Amino acid sequence: MIRLVLVDDDPLVRAGLVLMLGGAEDVEIVGEAADGGEVEELVDRTRPDVVLMDIRMPGVDGLTATERLRGREKAPQVVVLTTFHADEQVLRALRAGAAGFVLKDTPPAEILAAVRRVAAGDPVLSPTVTRQLMEHAAGSALDTRRSGARSRMAVLNEREREVAVEVGRGSSNAEIAAGLFMSVATVKTHVSRILAKLGLNNRVQIALLAYDAGLLEEGGH
């Protein structure tokens, strides 16, 4: 069973999510919260696998709550709920460790699929959406991040760097293995080492850092 917590200040939205997701045989909704300030205590009490988190709430917003959660040991995965797909707050939530996001008008079956994917350890961002987000944040803000991102990426060896670039391009483990002539198991090992060396939570953060460092435009060099 996937243990799920719902966080949204609108009781009608929460009721709709319960209706949509509560009927799935493999999902158990173990808690609800109306404010990001309630999330940590709720997570401690219910031990969910996934938190479906609204971004905009009048008290503690979803961004702050995500940052707090993902900074903890054994943190649940976070999927951000939002109205706009190209949103600076969404990008900040992904940098903080959210595994992806879904729009509030997403069909129920797709929201359920997103919860299942995140619970299985897969991000819920397509390469196209990831690129849209990163382009949205381009410009002067990117310039200020580039040198810092390059310094962080310098700890990777050449093979890890190649894998990081392919993750940034949205390639699956199988695609990376075929393109770089290694086994899928070796790719998984490289991804785990990249996450550990860079202090990241998931593949989305690898993609964002590779983009910030300019590696995707340079072909990894």
The pLDDT tens digits of the residues spanning 164-215 come to: 999 988 888 899 999 999 999 999 999 999 999 999 888 888 988 888 888 8
Q: In CATH, what number is assigned to the domain containing residue 22?
A: 3.40.50.2300
Are 14 and 101 in the same domain? yes
Residue 49 belongs to some domain of the structure: yes
Q: Rounded CA gap, 78 and 98, in Å? A: 5
Owning domain of residue 51: 2-124
Question: Are both 178 and 102 inside the same structural domain?
Answer: no
Distance CA 13, CA 32 (A): 11
Q: Are residues 118 and 161 in the same domain?
A: no
Please give the angle made by the CA atoms of 168, 171 and 176, to the nearest 5 degrees.
Answer: 110
Q: What is the pLDDT of residues 26-74, one digit of tens each?
A: 999 999 999 999 999 999 999 999 999 998 888 898 889 998 998 888 8
Among 57, 92, 124, the domain boundary falls at 124
| Whether residue 16 is found in the same domain as residue 90 | yes
88, two tokens? 């600076």
Q: What is the pLDDT of residues 122-162, one digit of tens each?
A: 777 655 566 666 666 555 455 667 888 888 999 999 999 99
Please give the model's pTM, rounded to 2 decimal places.
0.73
Q: Is the pLDDT higher at 120 or at 183?
A: 183
Contact 188, 173 (CB under 8 A): yes
Residues 7 and 76 in one domain: yes
Same domain (yes/no): 55, 149: no
Same domain, 97 and 143: no
Residue 221 lies in a domain: no
Is residue 158 in some structural domain?
Answer: yes
The tally of domains found in the chain comes to: 2
Same domain, 109 and 192: no
Q: Where are the alpha helices (DSSP H) in the chain?
A: 11-21, 39-46, 62-70, 88-95, 108-119, 127-136, 140-153, 158-168, 173-180, 184-198, 203-212, 215-218
